[in-house]
Amino acid sequence: MNIYDVSAKAGVSIATVSRVLNGNPNVSDKTRNRVLEVMDELGYTPNVFARGLGLNTMKTVGIMCSDSSDPYLAHAIYYLERELRANGYDSILCCTGSELVNKRQYFELLLSKRVDAMILAGSKFVEIDSAEDNNYIIEAAADLPVMLVNGYLDAPGIYSTVCDDHDAMYQVAHRLLQSGRRQILYLYTSHSYSGMNKLQGYKDALTAHGMPVRQELIHRCAKDLGEAKELLLSLADSGLTFDAVMTSDDSLAVGALKFAHCRKKSIPEELSIVGYNNSMLSYCTDPEISSVDTKIESLSIITVQSLMKVFGGGQVPGKSVIKADFVQKQTTDL
Amino acid sequence: MNIYDVSAKAGVSIATVSRVLNGNPNVSDKTRNRVLEVMDELGYTPNVFARGLGLNTMKTVGIMCSDSSDPYLAHAIYYLERELRANGYDSILCCTGSELVNKRQYFELLLSKRVDAMILAGSKFVEIDSAEDNNYIIEAAADLPVMLVNGYLDAPGIYSTVCDDHDAMYQVAHRLLQSGRRQILYLYTSHSYSGMNKLQGYKDALTAHGMPVRQELIHRCAKDLGEAKELLLSLADSGLTFDAVMTSDDSLAVGALKFAHCRKKSIPEELSIVGYNNSMLSYCTDPEISSVDTKIESLSIITVQSLMKVFGGGQVPGKSVIKADFVQKQTTDL
């Protein structure tokens, strides 16, 4: 017998059951009575960790990420855990994969553990194409703070810390254009909030330079260096020419570099390459790949600082933005 | 008021206080009485999560690692979390860094959270040079299962799952020697159990081939590709010659490849290079680096399976060993 059974039988969400348990006034009398009735019928007793019973909190925060072995997310988790621990909080980690059904299920599972807050690390948790798929997050945020690291949702109780991806990509494209590049290929992995901002930055820089946005230069690709290399080989074989490659992730830039080696292009003269996230991957290659440092340590620290402020009843903006840095290495001459 | 205060005032370890709380008979009457007396004096009440009170367990396992952003450990955490969740257990993650004092402090902190077991991921938790520094782990294992992923300690309640590093390195050295290499440089990062087994595998293969073990070919280096490159440059400048480089981690192999590019050595003819862990780093380079797949997914799955067997009262060996695979890529011709 648990909160799931109550939620299923009453025909309401976990978050609603949780609100009733917490005495949150934001539930209609009708719904509250229905939930209490079902609890009674099922003989459900809220577990000992329920905050609503006036016990201490668990001092535990749920951290969700799609894949903790991704280099960017691995660093996010490292810094988040360190900062939470420094503030006396444990981190329950949950790697969800990329399927919405799993994200949602794990999210509700962590809620049922009575965590004090949720941190969603990475841009993959907010659906851009189907806004109603984010309702479960918005609903939960009525009961506990939800922190988004590099994602954005505008709703009460949700606090986003994001890198200014639009500006970062705008600056990269602007500098490539200034240095005389005219056919900048753009490779990206995801339609997330972050992914769309990056792409828009690229497009806006072209427009600012009076250049057309050419769809045949914009390609989506799996986050896989082998696939990125093959994609570029087939684009080149189809007659497309390009003198620079901008990517939304270092792994794609590594694939672009393998393409360049394969076709014996001189770098950066014939082909400039720019990665994103400035991960260890961008330092492993010869030449090393110029990349955008998205300040994941700062993002993580600000996220935890904001959360502590929320816990303390302080005012925190719904969105905090930090600037990225372009790190020039050997695949550009900007 | 918490278990720390009791432990400090009674002059006994956290693990001993925990034993008293759990009714573990493995405590002397004198110590038990002293602990109970102090609890009484301090007005300490064991918290609601104490298993000793007969409540359900938290179904939570503590995972400690030195650095979750290391590619090998990031994968270990990903697979451990996934397997634990599939078995209905939460993971509390704790990144300790490499200082013994922090490892020990975080270990006791997690114990005080009443986790059901501890998993120590990576070889860095067992001190080889000073055995008494492992006592805090051995002591805790009297109360709850301690699982070591790629580390080994022989004590009741401690279950190790390790990769056969000795055999893996023996095979690599053996094949390099068979292919005619005679001066194999060995770079390693750590004196851990795993690190020492790897080195011994290299030495034993040399001996089996009737070759001397030459100390000037064996060098310790930080896990940093820049440092590895610089070390090889200075060794070459000092007149040392070598026709192969074996490394205890892919990051060192990437450094060796940068050295080879810098000195324009043909690969693998003039210089063979072998990495370890077969991480993404070994796929980013051109040429891609031959490496040893240490089966971190299998290690993690076996660790969780063993733990579930221990929870169920089953018999589990103190050490489970799995074989590594050599993955030939472009930096060897074996």
Choice between A98 and B286, residue whose per-residue pLDDT is larger: B286
With cut-offs at 50, 70 and 90, classify the pLDDT of residue A56: very low
Are B32 and A32 a contacting pair, CB within 8 Å?
no
| pLDDT number for residue A118 | 96
pLDDT in tens, B82-128: 999 999 898 989 988 888 888 888 898 888 877 899 999 998 888 88
With cut-offs at 50, 70 and 90, classify the pLDDT of residue B69: confident
The structural domains of chain A, ordered by start, are: 1-56 (1.10.260.40), 165-294 (3.40.50.2300)
B259: pLDDT strictly greater than 60: yes
Mutate to test the interface with B, among A57, A80, A93 (most CBs of B within 10 A): A93
pLDDT in tens, A190-244: 988 899 999 999 999 999 999 999 999 999 999 999 999 999 999 999 999 999 9
Q: List chain A residues with CB under 8 Å of B257.
A: 286
A67: pLDDT strictly greater than 60: yes
**Cα A325 off chain centre by:** 18
Beta strand pairing call for B325-327 and B291-293: antiparallel
Mutate to test the interface with A, among B48, B66, B69 (most CBs of A within 10 A): B69
**Nearest-CA residue of chain A relative to B72?**
A69
A131: pLDDT strictly greater than 70: yes
Amino acid at A42: L
Are B290 and B264 a contacting pair, CB within 8 Å?
no
Average pLDDT over residues A49-72: 70
| pLDDT number for residue A2 | 64
Q: Whole-angstrom Cα distance, residue A259 to residue A234? A: 10
User: Is there a contact between B75 and A69 if contact means CB atoms under 8 Å apart?
Assistant: yes
A256: pLDDT strictly greater than 60: yes
Q: List chain A residues with CB under 8 Å of B255.
A: none
In 3D space, the residue among A201, A197, A224, A186 whose CA is nearest the CA of residue A67 turns out to be A224
Choice between A322 and A130, residue whose per-residue pLDDT is larger: A322
User: Is there a contact between A78 and B94 if contact means CB atoms under 8 Å apart?
Assistant: no
Q: List chain A residues with CB under 8 Å of B63.
A: 93
Q: Whole-angstrom Cα distance, residue B15 to residue B13? A: 5
| pLDDT number for residue B50 | 38
Q: Whole-angstrom Cα distance, residue A119 to residue A307? A: 9
User: Is there a contact between A92 and B95 if contact means CB atoms under 8 Å apart?
Assistant: no
Share of chain B above pLDDT 70, in %: 93
| pLDDT number for residue A40 | 78
Count the neighbouring beta carbons within 10 Å of the beta carbon of residue B262.
Answer: 13
Choice between B43 and B248, residue whose per-residue pLDDT is larger: B248
User: Is there a contact between A85 and B94 if contact means CB atoms under 8 Å apart?
Assistant: yes
A53: pLDDT strictly greater than 60: no
Size of chain A, expressed as the number of residues it contains: 334
| pLDDT number for residue B1 | 57
In sequence order, the 6+-apart residues with CB closer than 8 A to the CB of A170 are A201, A202, A204, A205, A208
User: Is there a contact between A82 and B95 if contact means CB atoms under 8 Å apart?
Assistant: yes
A160: pLDDT strictly greater than 90: yes
What's the order of all strands across the beta sheet hosting B272-274? Answer: B218-220, B184-188, B244-247, B272-274
Are A136 and A104 a contacting pair, CB within 8 Å?
yes
Q: List chain B residues with CB under 8 Å of A93.
A: 63, 77, 81, 91-93
Mutate to test the interface with A, among B78, B85, B329 (most CBs of A within 10 A): B78
A57: pLDDT strictly greater than 70: no
Q: Whole-angstrom Cα distance, residue B38 to residue A258? A: 66
A260: pLDDT strictly greater than 80: yes
User: Is there a contact between A113 and B90 if contact means CB atoms under 8 Å apart?
Assistant: yes
Q: Which of A109-113, A159-163, B237-241, B269-273 has the weakest average pLDDT? A: A109-113
Nearest CA distance, A208 vs chain B (angstrom)? 35
Beta-bridge mates of residue A64? A94, A120
User: How many Cβ pairs within 8 Å bridge chains A and B?
Assistant: 93
With cut-offs at 50, 70 and 90, classify the pLDDT of residue A51: very low
| pLDDT number for residue B195 | 94
In 3D space, the residue among B297, B289, B313 whose CA is nearest the CA of residue B150 turns out to be B297
Chain B residues whose C-beta sits inside 8 Å of any chain A C-beta: 48, 55, 60, 63, 67-69, 71, 74-75, 77-78, 81-82, 85, 90-95, 106, 113, 225, 251, 254, 257-258, 261, 280-281, 283-286
Size of chain B, expressed as the number of residues it contains: 334
A305: pLDDT strictly greater than 90: yes
Q: List chain A residues with CB under 8 Å of B106.
A: 85
| pLDDT number for residue A1 | 57
With cut-offs at 50, 70 and 90, classify the pLDDT of residue A38: confident
- Average pLDDT in chain B: 90
B68 vs A81, A254, A281: nearest CB? A81
Chain A residues whose C-beta sits inside 8 Å of any chain B C-beta: 48-49, 55, 60, 63, 67-69, 71, 74-75, 77-78, 81-82, 85, 90-95, 106, 113, 225, 251, 254, 257-258, 261, 280-281, 283-286
Q: List chain A residues with CB under 8 Å of B60.
A: 92
pLDDT in tens, B262-318: 999 999 999 999 999 999 999 999 999 999 999 999 999 999 999 999 988 889 999
pLDDT in tens, B43-60: 765 543 333 333 346 788
| pLDDT number for residue B23 | 63
Report CA dihedral (B268, B274, B277, B279) to the nearest 10 degrees: -30
Choice between A98 and B233, residue whose per-residue pLDDT is larger: B233
Nearest CA distance, B55 vs chain A (angstrom)? 9
Beta-bridge mates of residue A330? none
- Alpha helix locations (H) across B238-292? 250-262, 281-284
B132: pLDDT strictly greater than 60: yes
User: Is there a contact between A68 and B55 if contact means CB atoms under 8 Å apart?
Assistant: no
User: Is there a contact between B71 and A75 if contact means CB atoms under 8 Å apart?
Assistant: no
| pLDDT number for residue A23 | 63
